[in-house]
A and B are shown apart, each in its own frame.
Chain A
């Protein structure tokens, strides 16, 4: 097993997440794409932790922090989506132009 395989896999997942983040029109799908991005970063951290720093595994510590922040982000993001849905009666990202000039 090589480090490069994991890094390429994480890069592919990151690109899929970016594509979904930009092209999705459902706000909840955008949140799911953000989770994909965070997981791609986690795979990178874990791969580096296993191959470059196998005895003092600091990458796993960072991964636990990223998982924590991702959980908080999902909760607050879904609360924001629910609030917007209650006000605007839609989850279409193209109609969320509250802060656009």
Chain B
């Protein structure tokens, strides 16, 4: 990373604030459409953090896969289950929320203490930087070849499984509706005998007319 330290710290602060604010919005906002769009903000902020961590390839993959695929998929899911529904209020729901918040704060305190107390073995080796794409490719095709192939098989399984799960089952009432709609969808043509015998159209009586050739 060629940026100066001050620039890095300021951009880290901005990205961290964006990410935490958007993540809190995802969890706390009532409208789920706002939550889905803020989730895209979280993903983009995380991509910026990856660029700060000298990982351009993974940042691009993050934007492509998370913002481009997962977030759009979630938005489609929200639209498909678009039901304006007020959930039945539970009794003593605030007890669960406060307990969960306390547990989460305790977990954060525990993790923070662990992070600050552990003597990390910071390496001083040269950073891969812009050659990280090459290094990742070397890893994929040498020592991570089996997980790479397994990931492709898993993606195929997820593809087929998602189609099988989300496919609409064959419903009898849907069949009836389809049959009632069938005459509407046919082309408004007259029967062939009436058209060929209609007066006032001399070209239809010629031998080269396609209607007569077909008859």
Q: Footprint of B on A, CB under 8 Å?
A: 1, 3-9, 11-20, 22-26, 28-29, 31-33, 35-36, 39, 42-43, 46-47, 49-58, 60-61, 63-65, 67-76, 78-83, 85-86, 89-92, 94
Contacts and interface: CB of A to CB of B under 8 A. Distances in A.
| 3 A-B pairs closest in CB distance | A72-B158, A20-B27, A79-B165
Using C-beta atoms within 8 Å of the partner chain, give the interface range for chain B: 35 or more
Contacts of A31: 74, 77
Contact of A54 (B43, B50, B123, B155): B123
Given A12-B20, A23-B96, 4 more contacts: A15-B108, A18-B107, A20-B26, A28-B78
Chain A interface mostly:
helix
Nearest to A80: B165
Given A1-B52, A15-B107, A16-B23, A32 B166 contact: no
Chain B interface mostly:
helix
B81 A67 contact: no
B115 A4 contact: yes
Nearest to A94: B90
A16 B81 contact: no
Interface of B: 5, 8-9, 12, 16, 19-20, 23-24, 26-27, 32, 35-36, 39, 42-43, 46, 49-50, 52-55, 57-58, 61-62, 65-66, 69-70, 73-74, 76-78, 80-81, 83, 85, 87-88, 90, 96-97, 100-101, 103-105, 107-108, 111-112, 115-116, 120-123, 125-128, 132, 135-136, 139-140, 144, 147, 151, 154-155, 157-159, 161-163, 165-166, 168
Given A11-B108, A13-B23, A68-B154, A32 B12 contact: no
